[in-house]
Structure 1
Amino acid sequence: MESGRVVEKFGSFHVLHFFLTCLPALFNAMSNVNFVLLTSDVNYRCRVPECESNRQEYMPTWWPTAVDRCSRPVLNGTIKTTCTNTSFSDALEKCDEWIYETNNTVIAELGLACQPIKANMIGTMHNIAMATSMLLAGRIADWIGRKPTMIFCSVSTFLGIFKTLAPSYYVYIAFEFLEAIGAGGIVTVGLVIMIETSNKKYRLLGGVLFGYFIYTGEVIFACLAMVIPYWKNLLYAVYAPTILFLLYIPISKETLRWLIIHEKVDEAKRLIKTIVKMNKVDIDPNDIDKMDLETMKVACEVETIETKEGYTDAFKSPELVKRFLIGTFCRFTVVFIYYGLTVNSVGLPGNRNMNFLLTSLISYPGDFLCLIFMNRFGRKFPLICGYALCGVTCVLFAFVPSGLNWLKITLYLISKLVVAACYTGVVTYIIELFPTSVRGSLFGLCILFASLGTTLAPLTPSLSTIMMSICFGCSAITSSILLFFVPETNNRQLVDTVEQLEDMMRANKERSVKYRNGHENCGFDHDEESRAH
């Protein structure tokens, strides 16, 4: 059977498989960003028991305007029936109870007034758990399969609904952690499935579609927050549907590449028949029944793997170590800037929900540009230019005068646009750089180390605008430079083993030596011939 015959045609099977893989990413995106709005600050003041009425107001007429919201004004003893502005002395006490303007965020219900570190730690703990999940999910997906790992992570998203039952801050943090550590692996496993399901022509399309579903999740969450202001009702709307991912058990499929590599011949034959039928590939079912493992590998363009490979084998390869380190830093940069800009969007002038929505919407054209440029010009060149442009716009944002808000917002949105394009592009590129035998494991490890960016992003609002912009800009420009040291992968067959990668590198090195020697000899012979004449 001809090489690649089974996987060469893109058809109905791919459309359905792509949709089933991307749908959990939509809900996972809402899970990953809800802390941005749920922990956003609200107005509050200190409660003064002697002055409060039955209908407690956030800003009553008697409240002294010069008092900050973390202090309690001290009564001067002149109070008669009701408090007035003259009922207080100049002394202040530390406040221990507050009146909130609204309870639409967890700040009010968990009593987090004047405790910004606790509020920021919700997002930080979520991202730490998510990073751990990405590492575990990549390893588990290589071990037990892409399908069961994806189903487990998708259903685990439902754990987020239990945050609405949290009676205290620490219980809320515990549920936040459990939700993220269960569901965080969706990105790792989902992207691996998208890349392994696609042929060479549509690998980038798979990554872009996956990114679009993530952005759609962010946009849907922003729209839901506008119409469902109370945080518990908002979480019900986000998490309740995820229990339906249990239906994936009978309807989703394992990736063909994983089945063949793990020599599950009977399952692979059944899946090949499904692919052939849905994509209308002209292959006789009887020919599929006669396939042996080697025939399948040829038909599905899968390289033979004689031994199982893991981290030890991967890190013995200097080329793979270089790719891993560069990929990790580029991934760190893109998530640091992407989520940093998302978190800080609620601090821009205007409505916080609208600002969050705009920064989510701008990601769509970013992915479209990624699809166009990375298919036309390859993977490396657009990423190098994208990181460089993002770095420049981030730095320029800090130095725009305060009166030019339109220019500041324009540069901010350009930065988000470009980093969104790099977000999808670099993930596709990194996955293509790793061999199949360790792809899930290395990608998970890459995401774990790179998740320092998502961990630091919720803390960036505490930095000055200049410092934040310089951090974003320097990391982006550094990534642009590092990408010069990894190879192009566009329209190249995926490498299946570490050994195959090393053989390719040795062959390339030998060709390079022969090429240089050939040019040197040509020059020498030319000189000799000239002297003879």
Structure 2
Amino acid sequence: MKAKDSIDLDAILTELGQFGRYQVYTYCYILLPILFSSVYNGQYIFAASDLDYRCKVPQCESDPPQYDTHGWGLWALPEDGRCRRLRPLGNGCSAQDFHYNETEPCDAWVYANDHSIVTEFDLACENWKRTLVGTVHSVGLFAALPITAYISDGFGRRTAFILTAVSAGVMGLIRSFSPNYIFYLIFEFLDATLGSGVYSSGFILALEMVGLKRRVLGGNLISCTFALGSVTLALVAWAVPYWRTLTRVIYAPSLLFIFYYFFVEESVRWLLSKEKKEEAARIIFKAAAINNKKLKPESVKQLTENRHEVPTIFKGAIPPRDEREPSTTKKILKSKIMVSRLCICSFWWITVTFIYYGLSINSVSLAGNRYVNYILTSLVEIPGYCISVLTLDRFGRKATIMTAFFICGSSLLAMPFISKETLQWLVTSLSMVGKLCISMAFSSIYIFTSELFPTEARHRLLGICSMFGRIGSIVAPQTPLLMEYMESLPYLIFGAMAVTSGFLMLLMPETVNLRLPDTVAQAESMATRRTKRPHDIIVD
């Protein structure tokens, strides 16, 4: 039986306009910090990038030393003179002053440029220290998710969004003054821990304000903005290559997001879940005025009557819980459906983050200009997001995401069997196809995961999935090291995980055209009765 005074929030959002002027204005505010979040998420690829260097040979160096040896490197350095030099026989710099086949470790290096921290902190021949930066950043992302989810679910989506957006700017600017490698690592971790939650909190805030039929469009607008952020990063890094200056240029604008407190409203769905009906009603009436829409008398009555009394059941928000009922966490842990759903979603997240970041990081190693390669790898994401907009509602979540996983896996599994010497263009093309499909899967998984879990724990469960997914992003920066043992190994792992994730999609319910579930019971019903809308189930 339906509660008499329930608030049908999804119906009210439809009356306001699925994606009206108010939603457009708010989205514009949300998208800018998300663009910067993308920039910060990939900045270490350039700040800690590999570069050319060679052993320093004191008796042959000019003052100051130059990377170009002007010929003497032919007899003073072996073919790979990055970490070893030919043993000197005297103090001169002629061919007779060096042993022709005996080498010794280098004790100093000359770098081609100072663009990377490799030069600044003298990290030559310690490639693991360079790749560790990306892993530390990803560990910070892992730590950020439960913190951001707790703030978002407890204190509001807007609070989490603004706090993380500003924190990133502060930590990044401090890091730009790093005196040594350890200091740099500490603030790389703090940057990710305190600032990376802007994407998840912004995504939830945006998703909860649009109507059912514009959920996919809204989610993919955010994903496209994230891709454009990667393009922006490459262009700025190309123009400002020195890592300290680059860091200051990209992080300083985030300090201005503190003023968002005056422009961005809280999520109405979250306000209703916290029984803040009066504030929720104010925002709804404001949105109706901006969208030039008139609410039905029934909706106005739902929002205005009994404002100062404890609300009854909200349809489109969380019903007040009887103190004798088990907590939401206990309900989830006792539900086999929810636990299995959480495990499968977590594996999906590991897969998409591992492949997504792995392909992005390795794109700078492809033949050609590394900035152009990174831009192309980022731009190819946008067609993937556009395809998901066209297919998620038409063919359903499951078929769309499964197809994306299978095509991605097939492309990447084929790469090791193609000659890079003769068909480099095909290798690059397959890498781009893989990035397009995994980007399509990534944005779709964000939407699909949000639809599978109830409002009362949506951000926490989404945070858990994303937190496990960070295992993939933690391992991804180390894939260049795997290539030293077997060049095709990362792509074989990428492909196998993508195909496995595609098959796991068969175990999930379809959520297309379903309203967001608000309780554990409603979320469970999606798996048992596909034809019944979860919001038609009333919790006594």
Tell me if TM exceeds 0.5: yes
Q: 2:48 aligns with which of 29, 39, 42?
A: 39
**Residue pair 1:135, 1:185 contacting (<8 A) in 2 also:** no
Q: Is the 8 A contact 2:176 2:247 kept in 1?
A: yes
Q: Which amino acid is the alignment partner of residue 455 of structure 1?
A: I
- Structure 1 residue 310: Cα displacement: 4.0
Match of 2:141 among 107, 110, 130: 130
2:288 equivalent to 1:276? yes
8 Å contact from structure 2 (residues 316, 518) kept in 1: no
Match of residue 25 from structure 2: 16
> What does 1:310-321 correspond to in 2, within 5 Å?
310-321=328-339
Does residue 7 of the first structure (1) align with residue 13 of the second (2)? yes
Q: How does 1:40-439 map to 2 (within 5 A)?
A: 40-60=49-69, 61-63=71-73, 64-66=76-78, 68-77=81-90, 79=92, 83-90=93-100, 91-158=102-169, 159-283=171-295, 290-292=304-306, 301-306=316-321, 309-402=327-420, 403-439=422-458
Which one-letter code corresponds to 1:213 in the other structure? T
Question: Residues 321, 289 of structure 1: CA spacing in aligned structure 2 closer, same or farther, 3 A cutoff?
Answer: closer
CA distance in 1, matches of 2:303, 2:450: 32
Range 144-153 or range 39-48, more displaced: 39-48
SS in structure 1 at match of 2:104: strand
Give the CA deviation at 1:141.
Answer: 0.8
TM-score by length of 1: 0.90
Alpha-carbon spacing, 1:295–1:95, altered in 2? closer, same or farther (3 Å):
same
Alpha carbons of structure 1 residues 337 and 203: separation in structure 2 relative to 1, 3 Å: same
Gaps spanning 5+ residues in structure 1: where? 511-533
Residue identity matched to 1:434 = F
Q: Secondary structure, in 3 states, of the residue corresponding to 1:477?
A: helix
Deviation at 1:93, TM superposition (A): 2.7
**Residues 259-268 or 90-99, more deviating:** 90-99
CA distance in 2, matches of 1:224, 1:231: 11
| 8 Å CA contact 1:5, 1:299 repeated in 2 | no
Q: Distance in 1 between matches of 2:62 and 2:491?
A: 46
Aligned 8 A contact 1:332 1:452 in 2:
yes
Change (3 A) 1:399 1:179: same
AA in 1 matched with 2:206: M
Pairing partner for 1:453 from 472, 480, 492: 472
Runs of at least 5 residues in structure 2 that lack an aligned partner in the other structure? 533-540
In structure 1, C-alpha distance between the alignment counterparts of 2:300 and 2:431, rounded to whole Å: 58
CA contact (8 A) 1:309 1:437 kept: no
RMSD: 2.4
For residues 491-515 of structure 1, the C-alpha deviation after alignment (integer angstroms, 9 at most, x for no partner) is 10111011333466666799xxxxx
Would the aligned equivalents of 1:338 and 1:416 in 2 still touch at CA under 8 Å? yes
Instruction: Measure the CA separation in 2 of the matches of 1:297 and 1:479.
Output: 41
Secondary structure class of the residue paired with 2:334:
coil
SS at match of 2:238: helix
1:231–1:123 CA distance, 2 compared to 1 (3 A):
same
CA spacing shift, 1:508–1:390, aligned 2, 3 Å: closer
Q: 1:97-138 CA deviation, whole Å, 9 max, x = no partner? A: 211010011111111100011000000000010121022211
- Equivalent AA in structure 2 for residue 397 of structure 1: M
Q: Equivalents in 1 of 2:310, 2:381: separation in Å? A: 42
Give 1 or 2 for the bigger CA radius of gyration.
1
Q: Deviations over 1:431-466 (max 9, x none)?
A: 110000000101111111111110111111222232
| SS of 1:234 mapped into structure 2 | helix
SS of the residue corresponding to residue 89 of structure 1 reads: strand
Distance 2:300 2:364 in 1: 60
- TM-score, scaled relative to structure 2: 0.89
Mapped partners of 1:297, 1:56: distance in 2: 77
Over residues 312-335 of structure 1, what are the superposed CA-to-partner deviations in whole Å (9 max), with x where a residue is unaligned?
332221111121111111111111
Give the counterpart of 1:488 among 496, 510, 518. Answer: 510
Q: How does 1:502-517 map to 2 (within 5 A)?
A: 502=524
1:302–1:50: structure 2 CA closer, same or farther, 3 Å change rule? same
Tell me the CA shift for residue 30 of structure 1: 0.7
- Is 1:465 the counterpart of 2:484 in the alignment? no
Counterpart code for 1:182: L
Q: For the structure 1 residues 377 and 126, does the alpha-carbon distance in structure 2 shift closer, same or farther, using more than 3 Å as the test?
A: same
* TM-superposed deviation, 1:188: 1.8
